[in-house]
Amino acid sequence: MAGLLTAFLLSRDPHTQYSEKIFESGKSVSLDIASISIPDGPQTPTDRIDIPMREFAGEYYKNLKAMYDFIAIRYHLQTFFFEFAKVLSKGAGASGGIDSSYFIHASNHHQMPPPRPSARSTAAFLVDVFYLPACYTWFSFCCFFLPPRMTSAGVCDTVDEYLKRSRLSEHFITYFLLQHYPVSNGIKAVQDKPVRGIPYELSATGSAVKSQSNGVKISWRYTDGTKSGVSREAIFDRVILAVSPDIVGRLFEPLKDAMAQIPTSLVESVIYNDRTTISTVNAKKGHLKSSAQFIYLRTSIEDTHRTESIQVQQSGAIVTTCHFSPIKPTLIIRSSRFTRVLQTPESRQLVNAIFKETHDYPKLTNEKRKSKWRNGDGNGCVISAMRVADAFGVGVPWRNHDSHVCK
């Protein structure tokens, strides 16, 4: 999304300083490339499943919500039940293994009291009902009054170091500390509007980006269609790399060593119809009074701590992210892998140093800077595009746009 929004903002420059072109390595624009439509019944519309999950919390991602409102993207309120479960059997996630469901959280507390897992005793459930608010209250207090430590070199606490200083319960950290809106017509509706009117090349995999006296040379190779195998190159005034750090290092030689120090993780999301992975849940549906979607968070502490997310879609299809439970290959509808950047104090310091050496980017005037903690808008695709626009002297139209919920 960062690349698309950057191109969108530059294309709206009233001074028409820039002419943009997008290069995509895939066969279609990448924001929606892994999503899929599944029939929800013979007389009902299809269920658009976005991969990765695109739901967002309105108060957490205010810039994203303002951008959606500005380009007239319809979204709606979606409630969830989050079920937390421990994997107890030897060989986590093995077929027929035993899960211990210990809590169900209703998003935005849309059902109070929260549903009780059928296998959880009333006494244990009541303990959790009081224990969790106490832990979250203490954690919230720490976020406001216990700032992260900062060294003279500008390196702050890691999340692990901060949680240890906060003296939060290890049980709470391991099993719990891990209002939502989905786009009504899927993320494709978001993709189509920013890219409209901007030329782009598909199946064009970049091979090198080099600075020259007359601009920046980008080289690419076509990987599909009639041009498959053909290499091309062109000179641009500026090149924006909206890709993961490992790809940046491969394309742009001066940043190769620096990008190798930024950790990344390959995350897999699988769409499938194997309901045996959530067989423990069906018995509990009678306790629920809502049509909210289910998200199951299964945690295994064997060898290393792992948590997989399982989301049941309206059509009955299941989406699992970071799965360790076995899935029958014949029941897999689609599998996609994504590179995720893992931010550390060291990698943040490295990125800040890179930008300080090249440009003095202006600070965003509308961003709150009262504390050292930032919400979701402090990092991410939308804010990245806004910062590029600021650096290029282009206004951000939704910055002063009145936000409202489009239903």
Q: What is the CATH number of the domain that holds 24?
A: 3.50.50.60
User: Which residue segment(s) compose the domain that 138 sits in?
Assistant: 121-178
Q: What is the pLDDT along the chain (407 residues), one digit of tens a residue?
A: 888 888 889 988 888 888 888 898 888 777 777 777 776 655 556 677 777 777 777 666 778 888 888 888 887 777 888 888 887 655 444 444 456 788 888 777 777 777 788 777 888 888 888 888 899 899 889 888 888 887 777 677 888 888 888 998 888 887 777 555 565 666 776 777 778 888 888 899 999 999 999 999 999 999 988 888 899 999 999 999 989 899 999 999 999 999 999 988 888 888 888 776 665 444 344 445 556 778 888 888 777 778 888 888 877 788 888 888 888 888 888 888 888 888 788 888 888 888 775 545 444 444 444 444 455 556 578 888 888 888 888 888 888 655 544 43
287 and 329 fall within a common domain: yes
What distance in Å separates the CA atoms of residue 84 and residue 103, rounded to the nearest whole number?
5
Residues with Cβ < 8 Å from 188, sequence gap 6 or more? Answer: 31, 32, 35, 48
Residue with tokens 């599998």: 335
Could you tell me if residue 401 is inside a domain? no
Which of 178, 201, 219 corresponds to the end of one domain?
178
What is the number of structural domains in the chain? 3
256 and 203 fall within a common domain: yes
Could you tell me if residue 113 is inside a domain? yes
Which of 178, 207, 222 corresponds to the end of one domain?
178
145 and 19 fall within a common domain: no
148 and 23 fall within a common domain: no
What distance in Å separates the CA atoms of residue 395 and residue 407, rounded to the nearest whole number?
28
The pLDDT of residue 251: 94
In one-letter notation, the amino acid at residue 360 is: D
359 and 304 fall within a common domain: no
Q: Looking at residue 113, which CATH number applies to its domain?
A: 3.30.9
Could you tell me if residue 403 is inside a domain? no
255 and 346 fall within a common domain: yes
Whole-prediction pTM: 0.74
Could you tell me if residue 220 is inside a domain? yes
What distance in Å separates the CA atoms of residue 49 and residue 203, rounded to the nearest whole number?
23
In one-letter notation, the amino acid at residue 366 is: N
Which of 341, 367, 384 corresponds to the end of one domain?
341
Could you tell me if residue 350 is inside a domain? yes
Rg (CA), the chain: 23
3-state secondary structure of 92: coil
275 and 379 fall within a common domain: no
110 and 228 fall within a common domain: no
Could you tell me if residue 24 is inside a domain? yes
Residue 386: other Cβ atoms inside 10 A:
25
347 and 221 fall within a common domain: yes
What distance in Å separates the CA atoms of residue 354 and residue 252, rounded to the nearest whole number?
13
142 and 239 fall within a common domain: no
Could you tell me if residue 404 is inside a domain? no
69 and 97 fall within a common domain: no
Phi and psi for 35 in degrees, rounded to 5? -75, 160
Residue 104's alpha-carbon distances to 85, 100, 119, in angstroms, are 9, 12, 12
The pLDDT of residue 40: 63
What distance in Å separates the CA atoms of residue 230 and residue 253, rounded to the nearest whole number?
23
Give, to the nearest 10 degrees, the angle between helix 159-166 and helix 122-145: 110
Could you tell me if residue 51 is inside a domain? yes
157 and 304 fall within a common domain: no
What distance in Å separates the CA atoms of residue 19 and residue 318, rounded to the nearest whole number?
42
The pLDDT of residue 90: 54
The pLDDT of residue 374: 52
